[in-house]
Amino acid sequence: MKPLLLVIISSLTSISLCLAQDDMPEWPAELEVRGQKVVIYQPQTESYQGDKMESRAAFSAEVSGKPVFGAMWFSCRVQTDKDSRMVNFDRITVENVKFPEDDQSKLDTFKDDLNQLFEDVDLSMSLDQFLADQQEISDRAAIDTEFNNAPPTIYFETSPSVLVLMDGEPILKELENSPYQYVVNTPFFLLSDTKSGVNYLKGGNWWYRSNKLTDGWKPTDQVPSEVSKIADQAFTQVESEQDSIAATLPSPPKVIVSTKPAELIQSDGEPKFNPISGTDLLFIDNSESDIIMSIDAQEYYVLISGRWYKSKSMDSGTWTFVRSDQLPEDFKNIPDDATIADVRASVAGTQEAQDAILENSIPQTAEVDRKTATVTVKYDGNPKFEKVEGTNFLYAANADKTVLKSNNKFYCVDNAIWFESDKATGPWEVSITVPEGVEDIPPNSPVYNVKYVYIYDHTPDVVYVGYTPGYYWSFPYYGSVIYGTGWYYRPWYYSYYYPRPVTYGFGVHYNPWTGWGFSFGVSYGWLSFSFHSGGYNGWWGPCGYRYGYRHGYYNGYRHGYWQGRMDGAIANRPGTLPNRRPGTVASNDRTRPQARPANTYRDRASGIKNTGVRPSTRPVQRPSQLPANRPAAQPGAISRPAQRPTGATRPATDAARTRPSNNVYSDRNGNIYRQNSSGNWQQRNQGSWKNTTTTPNSINRSQYNRSRGQQRVQSYQRAAPSRGFRGGGRMR
């Protein structure tokens, strides 16, 4: 037999790429070289750390019309884009090749030519397929025992209500040329008339008034015209599409004000309990909150920010925290097709919880241009630094970015990129290493999240960076994921108000396809932002170079913070859901942005990749002042040249091609196996498939994970475009 090298890769200039036409990539990948076909089956991960992966993949090459099977081992840089839910294998280096069917001595140069091939071709797969192949990561998930799980104040209401949260006692600031003051330390529109002493609150289409800012709010139609004009200016332009749910209510909802961490759970009328099939559990069916009752213990369980709290009474105020791995055993038995099945992601031991931890372990990655990327830091007065407990770091309490000081060096983390400077005010340049000691920052520090921002490697031109969801306050914790540390962080206020990330108060819920999202009672139409000084990114943490929150406050790297938030609000506008439980008071009808059309593999020179585009400095101005269209390019981005390698062409259609089944695997020794259409295992031996009953356990695990990954892809495609998400929570 001629060496496969001469048959398959005689010229790298005659490659044509067979590209999938679907939104998500298909496996196996197919390459054509001078009419000869090479089929690469879905990779099987051997190790994955940071943005580096070592993997193996079975493949076949067509020789004289017959397939010859082999295995290759390769290392690569992993680029993840959680926006499109795509993973790209970049800078592939083939380390070894084995052909059980051929004389290995004839293939000494085959590895080198494969490496030449991968200089022009990248492989990619869906994030869900990739996650399913990383099952062992869940066993390595870190647990930080210093999270604060003390319950917030929990209000239970049986009529439509809204929780208005203030960050401590009200802080009032005068409006220029006006007798009115506004409350700075809240994202709600609260205005005080200094002459009459009357206070005004606007939420959705309703107005309220009270003589006290923290109590006594009653609906009103008597609103001074000047107050109404101020409100029109305060709310963003997307608010014109607000409150389709609220508009159906016969009367304005009740207003509850809290100056301390609090959460609102409610039902539409008296609770209606329905049984959960196969369990001794009940759930409140006429509620948007996740409320379960254990019949045996006669206890209520409520899910808040990924944490479970229990009580003997819904309105007793005596809630206690329960770890997800210490819930009653029946919680694991909640059927995956139950109405309340979304809570399984917060029940340790379920596949959904394990998937959530896997998702939380995968970094979002990017390349950052060292020459152009920079940041501007604004201080409210002269820089003021405070001690980070248990470390050698100080952090800037009065900065609009996260700034650390250590050993007379200053570090800024902005949009998940490390910068450094010799001065607190800059100029700033991209760091090539993370400062020593960052891992020791405790959860009770407001800068805790920077320990989840990484630097993997660098060249003279770029820095390879990444961050895991801990950067936007999502953490693995005893078998599931939680949102927020639970600690209260004191805000900064002098001339400007800089809030800190909060754990409670905004109905944070987890969704397997979209991550964490928020519910705001009746609708997002209760919140205003451009009216307030300092910007409100602080309430929910940083942006990152993808939006950290899929719904509501969708901090897009493409637009910068304010434009991204506005787009997210549009995507999050309320509506009527066909599958929503009847009678509930708050829901969202939103269509997830479609993932970009992606191919199983791509021509590197022309393929779109996650460029790590950084937003411009977040302006403290109204969104109406920002451009509506996203820019074509932004500073700090690395992009590939828009030119295809010589001779590389895309086929005009995929219709005539029959893709092989994605059912071929390699074990660690390079032996090749497949599962046939009858579900039986076969091993490749002497040019043909032979039945076998001695399949390695690793092959069975790979088959299970590959199948589960495909199921996740299909579930995501079914759920994301057509079904609503309640603040990133339950799918209706």
- Is the model's pLDDT at 56 over the cut of 60? yes
Number of Cβ within 10 Å of residue 444's Cβ equals 17
Provide mean pLDDT across the span 191-214: 93
Specify the pLDDT at position 657: 53
For range 549-557, the mean pLDDT: 25
Measure the CA–CA gap between 524 and 241, rounded to whole angstroms: 10
CA atoms within 13 A on the CB side of 428: 23
Is the pLDDT confidence value at 395 over 70?
A: yes
Q: How would you classify residue 42: left for phi > 0, otherwise alpha for psi between -120 and 50, otherwise beta? A: beta
**C-alpha–C-alpha distance, residues 333 and 328, integer Å:** 10
Which residue type is seen at 20?
A: A
Radius of gyration of the chain (CA): 28
Between 512 and 104, whose confidence is greater? 512
Assess contact for 128 and 716: CB atoms under 8 A.
yes
Least confident of 38-42, 114-118, 453-457, 557-561: 557-561
What is the β-pairing status of strands 409-414 and 15-17?
Answer: unpaired
Residues 588-610 pLDDT 10s: 222 222 332 233 333 333 332 33
108: left (phi over 0), alpha (psi -120 to 50) or beta: alpha
Higher per-residue confidence, 351 vs 593: 351
Higher confidence at residue 279 or residue 244? 279
What residues have CB less than 8 Å from 232, skipping those under 6 apart?
none
Whether 692 and 682 have beta carbons less than 8 Å apart is answered as yes
Q: How is the chain split into domains, by residue range?
A: 4-140+655-722, 264-361, 364-467
The model's pLDDT over 20-31, given as tens digits with 9 standing for 90+, comes to 334 567 888 887
Whether residue 668 has pLDDT greater than 70? yes
Q: Which phi and psi (to 5°) does residue 156 adopt?
A: -120, 125
Between these two residues, 246 and 468, which has the higher pLDDT value? 468
Q: For residue 153, what pLDDT is reported?
A: 95
pLDDT for residue 559: 25
- Encoding tokens for residue 75? 């290392």
d(CA 428, CA 374): 6
Q: What does the block give as tokens for 313?
A: 């009474």
> Per the omega criterion (within 30 degrees of 0), is the bond before 582 cis?
no
The answer to whether 641 and 605 are in contact (CB under 8 A) is yes
Would you say residue 681 has pLDDT above 80? yes
Give the helix/strand (H/E) hosting 705: helix 697-722
pLDDT at 307 over 50: yes
In single-letter form, the type of residue at position 601 comes to: Y
Q: Is the pLDDT of residue 676 over 60?
A: yes
CA atoms within a 13 Å half-sphere pointing along the CA-CB vector of 424: 20
Calculate mean pLDDT across residues 693-711: 86
Please give the C-alpha separations between residue 284 and each of 180, 294, 297, in angstroms, as whole numbers.
43, 12, 16
DSSP 72: E
* Among the ranges given (105-114, 120-129, 383-392, 519-528), the one the predictor scored with the smallest mean pLDDT: 519-528
Residue 181: pLDDT band by 50, 70, 90 thresholds?
very high
pLDDT above 70 for 450 = yes
329-359: buried (b, 16+ CB within 10 Å) or exposed (e) per residue?
ebbebbeeebbbbbbbbbbbbbebbbbbbbb
SS3 232: helix
How far apart (Å, rounded) are the C-alpha atoms in residues 385 and 408? 12
pLDDT score recorded for residue 104? 58
Residues 107 and 477: their CA atoms lie apart, in Å, by 49
